Amino acid sequence: MNSIAEHIADFLKEYSPFDHLTIQELSEIAVNIRVVNLQKHKALFQINDLVHDSFYVVASGVIDLSIIADAEETILNKCHVGALFGLRPFFAKNNYRMTAKAREESIVYAIPIAVFRPFLANNAEVLNFLLENFANNTPNSKDSENLRGNIISDSVFYTDQQSEMQFFQSLSYNTNPLITNAGSIVKDVAQLMAETRFNSTIVCENNIPLGIVTDTDMSSKIATGRFPVTVSVDKIMSKPVITVLENVSLAEAQLLMLKNNVTHLCVTIDGTDTTEVKGVISEHDLIIAQASNPGVLIKEIKRSQSASELKQIRVRLTNLVQTSIQKNIPLTHISNITSEINFAILKRAIELSILDLGSPPARFAWLSIGSQGRKEQLLLTDQDSILVFEDVADEKYRDVKDYFLTLGKRTTLTLEKVGYELCPNGHMASNMIWCKSLTDWIKQYDSWMKAPGEKNNNVSSIFFDYELIFGDQKLEDAISTVVFKNVKNNTLFFDYLGNDALRKHSPLTFFKNFNVEEEGLYKNMFDIKTRAIMPLVDGARLFTLYFDLKGINNTYVRFKQLTISDPKHSEIYLNCAEAFLTLSKFRTLEGLKNENSGQYINLEELSKIDKEKLKNALLPMKELEELIKSKFQLTQFS
């Protein structure tokens, strides 16, 4: 080994994943490495460049990875010594999605993928290193000047905080692949592939996969003259075919292709090559799936210019929710991802209105209330919002309020076009009652909480579930200060909220049957929202306010927090937390099936097991009701 290669091997062994390789293996890699000197600001590759045959390690200096977003160059990461980057060619054949540019005079090592791939395939630690780094998004290296062994993919896809979603994200694939038998003639198969525009054919016996013929096999074995077109396909097929279960995730599929150096995976009934074929996954399917990644969706939202563009993204979010639920991903995780995307859509709708109207005349805060504010809006339900603007001089008040009312109307109209229906109760920032100055809002909350129910002063409890979408955090904080000041020793308020929580009709009859609708459009159906979910939402809110738990809006998280604040009743809270997830899943599945809000469950369509599961989820509500009565000394009729 020459002295340069020796020096490179010594350097690499200091960093992951190379520290998992032997000196012999590192030497084999090092002799094939190209040393690239980059002057300051010199680009190694740019967005839309064809992918290279190598990936890179920073030997000295710093490399910036950047994308163009909103017509500006945004630096996503700084790669310091030892950092890997430019991994895109491992995963996709399409062009780079980022620019890699030297921040200062730098040296990088170019490692040929063809040389490195065998070591990846045969070394579990190296493969696990890649897997973990793709699953746990790499921290930004500016947070650690000496960050070692960080992998930064040059695909926008991997740099997003939700990149672990790949490990849950299902793939759409061809469920009707071309299938042929081993004796078929290559010429006939090639003709069939050309006619159907399929780039692969699975070779089977009794629908059990023996091998696969791809475009690559055709070009490398037939077009080069190695085999005549008259041979049977078993002579040129790749075997064994790599098989997977149908619920393989995007990340798993990518890593299998990488590990086995293949471009197609065969889906079978049990994921082995001994059961029947159900479909084929191609590299193209992986690229398509990347477009539905949450991080990518959020970037697209930020660049959207119209309601119709936002609507298309919202449809893709619904598909993401559906596939995630089918894969039994925890509902809490799906809710987190969904609320991030929902919030991004709401924020963009406000931004588009501001772009039309011009800069706001005063600071303001747009708050989502209700299910959106609680981050529980998995389905396309109606929009609920309020707008708070800072106090202004009396002579400016009318003009300022007019601006924000117009902003509210434009934004709610945009959101309606996206698919979020207008709130039937008018709880929206476009309503002059719910668009007002901070002082007016403080008076409103004071009135609701100090004299609830008096002179038609009926407080809608959803106004206590709010989350800032856009604007000034200090205005939201000011509302919170008033709310939590007013809960102290406020028996009257808790009487009102407690009784409101108890007023909901019981979900089960005396004989433990479901309380269904007796008449109208939803006759004999079960109102899961009003009878089951809302009592839990109300109970969680009531105790959260009582125990002074600030900044927690989500019902599930509220119950989990209450187990700590009120340990004596932790079992009740835990049961309620689990019940809430179960009920929410039932509602979401019903909504996805019928393309509606999922409020009414058709019990006849539920299996016996699901009916029991639903009934069991309703049981903790009785305990919660008793706890409310005893804690706030209420009867149902007080």
Q: Is the pLDDT of residue 184 over 70?
A: yes
Q: How far apart are CA 414 and CA 427, in angstroms?
A: 16
The model's pLDDT over 187-219, given as tens digits with 9 standing for 90+, comes to 999 999 988 888 899 999 999 999 999 988 898
Q: Which span out of 334-343, 401-410, 419-428 was modeled with the highest average pLDDT?
A: 401-410
Q: Is the pLDDT of residue 155 over 60?
A: no
Q: Indicate if 217 and 319 belong to the same structural domain.
A: no
pLDDT at 152: 40
Instruction: For residue 377, name the pLDDT band (cuts at 50, 70, 90).
Output: confident
Q: How far is CA 493 from the centre of its chain?
A: 38
Domain containing 59 equals: 3-160
- Look at residue 169 and tell me if it is in a domain: no
Q: Is the pLDDT of residue 164 over 60?
A: no
Q: Indicate if 541 and 615 belong to the same structural domain.
A: yes
- Look at residue 454 and tell me if it is in a domain: no
pLDDT at 456: 60
- Phi and psi for 30 in degrees, rounded to 5? -60, -35
Q: Is the pLDDT of residue 566 over 70?
A: yes
CATH code of 109's domain: 2.60.120.10
Rg for the chain, CA atoms, rounded: 30
Q: Is the pLDDT of residue 410 over 90?
A: yes
> Measured in Å, how far apart are the chain's first and last C-alpha atoms?
89
Q: Indicate if 216 and 335 belong to the same structural domain.
A: no
Q: Look at residue 126 and give its three-state secondary structure.
A: helix
Close Cβ partners of 70 (under 8 Å, ≥ 6 residues apart):
302, 303
How many separate domains does the chain show? Answer: 4
Strands 43-45 and 435-437: unpaired
pTM of the model: 0.62
Q: How far apart are CA 324 and CA 21, in angstroms?
A: 37
Q: Is the pLDDT of residue 421 over 60?
A: yes
- Look at residue 384 and tell me if it is in a domain: yes
The model's pLDDT over 476-503, given as tens digits with 9 standing for 90+, comes to 999 999 999 999 989 999 998 998 888 8
pLDDT at 254: 78
Instruction: For residue 343, name the pLDDT band (cuts at 50, 70, 90).
Output: very high
Instruction: For residue 119, name the pLDDT band (cuts at 50, 70, 90).
Output: confident
Q: How far apart are CA 404 and CA 199, in angstroms?
A: 55
More confident position, 635 or 279: 279
Q: Look at residue 155 and give its three-state secondary structure.
A: coil
The model's pLDDT over 447-481, given as tens digits with 9 standing for 90+, comes to 999 988 776 666 778 899 999 999 999 999 999 99
pLDDT at 146: 31
Lowest mean pLDDT among 76-90, 242-256, 269-283, 284-298: 284-298
Longest dimension (CA), the chain: 92
Instruction: For residue 134, name the pLDDT band (cuts at 50, 70, 90).
Output: very low
The model's pLDDT over 505-553, given as tens digits with 9 standing for 90+, comes to 788 877 778 888 888 899 999 999 999 999 999 999 999 999 999 889 9
Q: Look at residue 415 and give its three-state secondary structure.
A: helix
- Look at residue 638 and tell me if it is in a domain: no
Q: Which helix (H) or strand (E) holds 426?
A: none
Q: Indicate if 265 and 123 belong to the same structural domain.
A: no
Mean pLDDT of 130-155: 36
Strands 435-437 and 385-389: parallel
Domain end: 256, 290, 324, which one?
290
Mean pLDDT of 76-103: 80
Q: Is the pLDDT of residue 91 over 70?
A: no
Q: Indicate if 195 and 273 belong to the same structural domain.
A: yes
| Residue corresponding to tokens 């109208």 | 520
Q: Indicate if 436 and 549 belong to the same structural domain.
A: no
- Look at residue 486 and tell me if it is in a domain: no
Domain end: 231, 266, 290, which one?
290
Q: Indicate if 254 and 306 belong to the same structural domain.
A: no
Q: Indicate if 467 and 331 belong to the same structural domain.
A: yes
CATH code of 412's domain: 3.30.460.10
Mean pLDDT of 321-338: 79
Q: How high is the mean pLDDT of the chain?
A: 85
Instruction: For residue 436, name the pLDDT band (cuts at 50, 70, 90).
Output: very high
Question: Quick one: which of 502, 481, 485 has its CA closest to 450?
Answer: 485
Q: ∠ at Cα 609 (607, 615), nearest 5°?
A: 105
Instruction: For residue 149, name the pLDDT band (cuts at 50, 70, 90).
Output: very low
More confident position, 381 or 468: 468
The model's pLDDT over 572-600, given as tens digits with 9 standing for 90+, comes to 999 999 999 999 999 999 999 988 889 99
Q: Indicate if 98 and 43 belong to the same structural domain.
A: yes
Q: Is the pLDDT of residue 150 over 70?
A: no
Q: Indicate if 373 and 513 belong to the same structural domain.
A: no
Q: Indicate if 149 and 224 belong to the same structural domain.
A: no
Strands 364-369 and 466-471: antiparallel
Q: Indicate if 390 and 273 belong to the same structural domain.
A: no
- Look at residue 636 and tell me if it is in a domain: no
Q: Is the pLDDT of residue 637 over 70?
A: no
Q: Is the pLDDT of residue 151 over 60?
A: no
Tokens of 437: 């100055």
Helices (H) and strands (E) in the chain, counts: 24, 21
Residue 71: burial class (beta carbons within 10 Å; 0-12, 13-18, 19+): exposed
- Phi and psi for 437 in degrees, rounded to 5? -75, 165
Domain end: 130, 160, 190, which one?
160
What secondary structure does DSSP assign to 513-580, as a single string?
-B----SSTTTT-EEHIIIIIHHHHHHHHHHHHHTT-TT---HHHHHHHHHHHSGGGHHHHHHHHHHH
- Look at residue 170 and tell me if it is in a domain: no
Q: Is the pLDDT of residue 158 over 50?
A: no
Would you say 66 and 76 are in contact if contact means Cβ atoms under 8 Å apart? yes
CATH code of 247's domain: 3.10.580.10
Q: How far apart are CA 279 and CA 272, in angstroms?
A: 13
Q: Is the pLDDT of residue 310 over 60?
A: yes
- Look at residue 185 and tell me if it is in a domain: yes
